[in-house]
Structure formats: C-alpha cells, structure tokens
Amino acid sequence: MDKKRSIDPLTYLEKGTTALDVAKQLEQFSNDCRLFSLFYPALQWLVPNSWIAIYKGHVIGNDEDLQRLLFRLAWRGYPRTSLAIRFIYPVGSEPTLILRAAA
C-alpha cells in the first residue's frame, strides 16, 4: 500500500482520547442508529422528506436541507463526528437497491 495514500485513523482522535472513550462513542453511535430503525416508520409519517439528527438517544434536529441542519447543529455545539443523521423517505417512496449477482 502506498504510504502517501494511507490514512492513520489516530489522526482524527482528539489528544488524550483513550480506547475506552472510542468504545463508548461507538456504542453510543450504534444505539442512536438503532433508534432510527426502531422509529423509522413513525418518522416517515411525522417528518417525511427530512434529514433527522440523533445524538445520545435524542432527536436534536431535523430539516429538509442537510447543509442547513449541519450548520444549526454546529452552531449549537454538537460534534459532527458523533451525530447519527439519516434521510427519512415518505411512506412508499423508499429507494430500492438492485444488486448485481456475483458471477
């Protein structure tokens, strides 16, 4: 692998971050993603065609425009790297993925 192109994942950690901190952040992010799965049907009725942000188990924002949502969340001090964000499609209009079978 070309050394110039490889990315050291530790570059993105804040100084003083421990492995335990990273594990806690990943667990929290995983829990936030599970909330999307659990409440997605309700969100489809409540806020269709919107981006939803969840942080530490709470919906902290929604907007039809992703950039506007990210700006508001940054202004309010939420760390972008710890947010779970997902687009909510209206009922019946979720995209369908068609995958090509391996040869």
What pLDDT digit, counting tens, does each position of 7-46 carry? 555 555 666 778 888 888 889 999 999 999 999 999 999 9
Is residue 70 situated within a structural domain? yes
Is residue 9 situated within a structural domain? no
Angle at 19 (CA atoms; ends 14, 23), nearest 5 degrees: 100
Is residue 6 situated within a structural domain? no
Domain count for the chain, please give it. Answer: 1
pLDDT at 21: 82
Is residue 1 situated within a structural domain? no
Domain that holds residue 32: 18-88
Whole-prediction pTM: 0.74
**Residue 75, pLDDT above cutoff 60:** yes
